Amino acid sequence: MSADYIDFISHIKRKLGIDLTLYKEAQMKRRLTSLRNKRGFSTFNDYAQVLDKDEVLLQEFVDRLTINVSEFYRNPKRWHVLQDKILPALLNKSTNLTVWSAACSTGEEPYSIAIMLREHFPHVNLRIIATDIDGKVLEKAKRGIYQKQALKELPFELKEKYFRCEHGLYYIDNRIKQMVTFKKHNLLVDRYPRNVDLIVCRNVLIYFTDQAKEIIYERFSDALVEKGVLFVGSTEQIFSPNQYHFSLLDTFFYTKE
């Protein structure tokens, strides 16, 4: 790593509390270098100085860093497994359910869970916590307004029932909005919730180093109740799940033993 990039990483950690050494280096450096070049700076030192003064460029930098793409029912087959197998098994034990959507981006994931539960398990005493490191995406999530593209995997009848379409934008129903509590949270730094029945953490672990992933899996395992479930993204299988007291329940679903 060049001294220029190492200094930049420390600067960002002090400034934003985000430790870039825990994200995969090559990928992250490529993304940040291309943005830096686009803005006309040839060193990270010059770029850091301007980020200190310019809020707009700073937000652009955070956007590049966090990669916020999401959609409702992303990888729909997995959501069907959640509905038909995982949730019935969890609800067999108790009608109370605490769900944590970690790294929730603009809210599509926690709102998908809220819709599914309201639709198929309406009597559950439910708590959905949704967190992300990026305050701006959480503000968007709370607004609950989406482009058509974000709803492409959502079954038609659910789209009709839980959204109002105006001028090409889709507004989520207030009943669904009220089911989710959004909160800023850094998976690498902050305390985790406890006694969670289902953690949904998808399409963020791929960006972390193996060392960071190990720490996060351990902390997820601690956060879950016995027989609680971790639902990961479709490229994020855990290689030795028993190391974290997990066993494979179905593809991309792990249960805590």
Ligand X SMILES: C[S@@+](CC[C@H](N)C(=O)[O-])C[C@H]1O[C@@H](n2cnc3c(N)ncnc32)[C@H](O)[C@@H]1O
Residues binding ligand X (CB under 6 A): 66-70, 74, 103-105, 108-109, 132-134, 137, 186-188, 202-204, 233
Query: Which residue type does 195 have?
Result: N
Size of the chain in residues: 257
Check residue 208 and report its DSSP letter: B
Tokens of 236: 């994020």
Helix (H) or strand (E) holding 96: strand 96-102
**Which residue's CB is nearer to ligand X, number 41 or number 81?**
81
Contact 181, 130 (CB under 8 A): yes
| Minimum distance of ligand X from residue 156's CB (angstroms) | 20
CA distance 250 to 180: 26
CA distance 222 to 102: 15
| Minimum distance of ligand X from residue 23's CB (angstroms) | 7
| Minimum distance of ligand X from residue 182's CB (angstroms) | 12
Check residue 206 and report its DSSP letter: G
| Minimum distance of ligand X from residue 222's CB (angstroms) | 17
Q: What is the DSSP string of 130-146?
A: EEES-HHHHHHHHHTEE
**Which residue's CB is nearer to ligand X, number 218 or number 257?**
218
**Which residue's CB is nearer to ligand X, number 88 or number 135?**
135
Nearest C-alpha neighbor of 103 from the set 195, 222, 231:
231
Q: What is the DSSP string of 17-74?
A: ---GGGB-HHHHHHHHHHHHHHTT-SSHHHHHHHHHH-HHHHHHHHHHHH-----TTS
**Which residue's CB is nearer to ligand X, number 190 or number 257?**
190
| Minimum distance of ligand X from residue 154's CB (angstroms) | 13
**Which residue's CB is nearer to ligand X, number 4 or number 236?**
236
In angstroms, what is the C-alpha Rg of the chain? 19
| Minimum distance of ligand X from residue 93's CB (angstroms) | 26
Residue with tokens 């969670």: 196
| Minimum distance of ligand X from residue 83's CB (angstroms) | 17
